[in-house]
């Protein structure tokens, strides 16, 4: 079946999204723990020491410490407060949230969106080179907003089709971060085995 959402058309069957999330959890370690760390940071009202630990954990999870020290040196609690405030309204302003983190010298779109993904996995995906090369979203906050909209629509479609989510969210919910994991795993798999789908 062909879906109007290009993210869902990565595979022949929507049910593949379940196994793709499982694959991501196996190959990229620490996802659940980092989500918990993001929630701990928010609950602690963005305590600076926890924020530094969180930033380090996000860079470690992403596999790159390039610019890490510059980010630590320039990141302020206010950057993250502004981002979370933009995401806490009825219609989350993901474009503004990403822009708030991009004010941090040394933090680019890929890692800024990774931080958002672990602060608000329910509504924030990651815009990195892998996703950009496949789908050509604009490499800016506006492109991130378009990606986020597509991911949220994909999550809704997965829920409506009762596709099991290995993240075991309540009520069978799919988060933006879950769809993001499946998409990333699928693109990595296609790079290794081009005929996979």
CB 142 within 8 A of CB 95: yes
What's the pTM?
Answer: 0.94
Q: Of 27, 26, 32, 7, which Cα lies nearest the Cα of 17?
A: 7
- Give the C-alpha separation, 192 to 187, whole Å: 9
State the pLDDT confidence band at 130, using cuts at 50, 70 and 90: very high
pLDDT tens track for 25-39: 999 999 999 999 999
Residue 2 lies in a domain: no
CB 153 within 8 A of CB 165: no
pLDDT of residue 2: 54
pLDDT tens track for 162-172: 999 999 999 98
**Residue that is written with structure tokens 């809704």 in the block:** 156
- Give the C-alpha separation, 165 to 118, whole Å: 18
Domain interval for residue 149: 8-192
Residue 58: what are its φ and ψ, rounded to 5°?
-65, -45
Residue 67 lies in a domain: yes
CB 110 within 8 A of CB 58: no
pLDDT tens track for 55-105: 999 999 999 888 889 999 999 999 999 999 999 999 999 999 999 999 999
pLDDT tens track for 173-185: 999 999 999 999 9
pLDDT of residue 158: 96
Overall domain count for the chain: 1
Residue 135 lies in a domain: yes
């Amino acid at each position: 079946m062909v879906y109007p959402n290009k993210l869902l058309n990565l595979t022949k069957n929507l049910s593949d999204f379940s196994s793709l999330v499982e694959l991501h959890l196996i190959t990229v370690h620490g996802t659940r723990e980092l989500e918990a760390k993001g929630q701990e940071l928010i609950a602690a009202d963005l305590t600076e020491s926890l924020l530094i630990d969180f930033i380090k954990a996000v860079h470690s999870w992403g596999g790159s410490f390039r610019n890490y020290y510059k980010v630590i040196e320039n990141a302020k609690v206010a950057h993250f407060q502004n981002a979370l405030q933009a995401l806490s309204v009825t219609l989350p302003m993901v474009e503004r949230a990403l822009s708030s983190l991009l004010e941090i010298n040394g933090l680019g779109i890929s890692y800024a969106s990774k931080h958002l993904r672990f602060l608000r996995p329910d509504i924030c995906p990651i815009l990195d080179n892998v996703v950009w090369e496949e789908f050509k979203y604009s490499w800016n906050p506006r492109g991130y907003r378009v990606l986020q909209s597509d991911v949220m629509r994909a999550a809704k479609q997965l829920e409506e089709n009762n596709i099991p989510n290995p993240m075991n969210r309540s009520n069978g919910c799919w988060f933006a971060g879950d769809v993001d994991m499946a998409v990333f795993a699928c693109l990595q798999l296609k790079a290794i085995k081009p005929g996979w789908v």
